[in-house]
Amino acid sequence: MNIEKDPITVLVTGAAGQIGYALVPMIARGAMLGLDQPVIIHMLDIEPAAESLKGVKMELIDAAFPLLKDVVATTNVVEACKGVNVAVMVGGFPRKEGMERKDVMTKNVSIYKAQASALEQHAAPDCKVLVVANPANTNALILKEFAPSFPAKNITCLTRLDHNRALGQISEKLNVHVGDVKNVAIWGNHSSTQYPDVNHATVKTAAGEKPVRELVANDQWLNTEFITTVQQRGAAIIKARKLSSALSAASSACDHIHDWVLGTPKGTWVSMGVYSDGSYGIPAGLIYSFPVTCEKGEWSIVQGLKIDEFSRAKMDATAKELAEEKSLAYSCLN
């Protein structure tokens, strides 16, 4: 018997924007929560985008997605947050030319402060939150501060895009299928200080799993060009497309929630920005990207990985940037 599941309610903020527009059809198709999971989508955006948001709702209706049970399009944060099980926070204030980081941070602090209290009061108690808007790690930290009753483990930020970018670079370099590459790790901030680490990554070959380092056989490339390509991929896409990554960001957001809710395959880990518990000597209380595995809706940091000196320096540098961002955010709060 095919007993239909109860629908899961997913909130997308900034839903009329580029990423939102790419993301909502993926959710409605089942890419985020599974091909047999009905969904209700709540879309939130700011008043100036209300008309555009209405258009996105029309398109969702016109696409006649069998899994889509209902769509709510609103500019009211309370209505948007009511009863949501998963919240994907895409809306934020983008950095504009000539803006200082502090200006962007001040704008985002006030946005995330308001959304945090609406989520805390109106979302389902076990709601899982994914912050996509930059600065993603610090926006997630602000959200955590202002939703104190939310379990810290339910607030995460997106570094799966960087993780997927790293897999893509390795698969291109080795001319192998991207599905055969696994266990890269993204450490730290979703910024140009992040550290894409291949020291534990492997590739499935006819002769079994082989380490990426052994197959690439070019430490110089792996320790320089590979790292900077992943770190600066977002900027390269803006240069080429004149717009920031939307399709890949939306797809990675689906991957992040999919694996968090449904679990990671055995022997495989993914990267998520999560609340640090002090693992690997990273200061507790930062939202930092770690390699994680997921099971039964819970993530756990992969423990016991060997960290060489090169990695240690990179991991500490990105932690230092996050600590600075954190104090900048706190200074904006006051």
Active site residues: 190
d(CA 316, CA 334): 27
Is 165 annotated to bind a ligand? Reply is: yes
Which of 122, 285, 291, 131 lies closest to 201 in space, CA to CA?
Answer: 291
Is 17 annotated to bind a ligand? Reply is: yes
- The region, left, alpha or beta by phi > 0 then psi within -120 to 50, assigned to residue 9 is beta
Is 92 annotated to bind a ligand? Reply is: no
Is 241 annotated to bind a ligand? Reply is: no
Is 179 annotated to bind a ligand? Reply is: no
d(CA 46, CA 230): 32
Q: What is the dihedral of CA 234, 235, 236, 242, to 10 degrees?
A: 100
Is 30 annotated to bind a ligand? Reply is: no
Across-strand partners of 88? 12, 130
Those residues with Cβ within 8 angstroms of residue 276's Cβ, 6 or more apart along the chain or in another chain:
282, 283, 284, 285, 286, 287, 288, 290
Is 14 annotated to bind a ligand? Reply is: yes
Is 101 annotated to bind a ligand? Reply is: yes
CA atoms within 13 Å, Cβ hemisphere of 38: 13
State the maximum Cα–Cα separation within the chain, in Å, rounded to a whole number. 60
Q: Contact at 8 Å (CB) between 250 and 242?
A: no
d(CA 57, CA 186): 35
Across-strand partners of 157? 131, 273
Is 45 annotated to bind a ligand? Reply is: yes
Is 317 annotated to bind a ligand? Reply is: no
Backbone angles phi, psi at 71, to 5 degrees: -135, 130
Q: Contact at 8 Å (CB) between 252 and 160?
A: yes
Is 108 annotated to bind a ligand? Reply is: yes
Which of 293, 191, 278, 265 lies closest to 233 in space, CA to CA?
Answer: 191
Is 16 annotated to bind a ligand? Reply is: yes
Is 154 annotated to bind a ligand? Reply is: no
Binding residues: 14-20, 45, 95, 101, 108, 132-134, 165
Binding residues for NAD(+): 14-20, 45, 108, 132-134
Binding residues for substrate: 95, 101, 134, 165
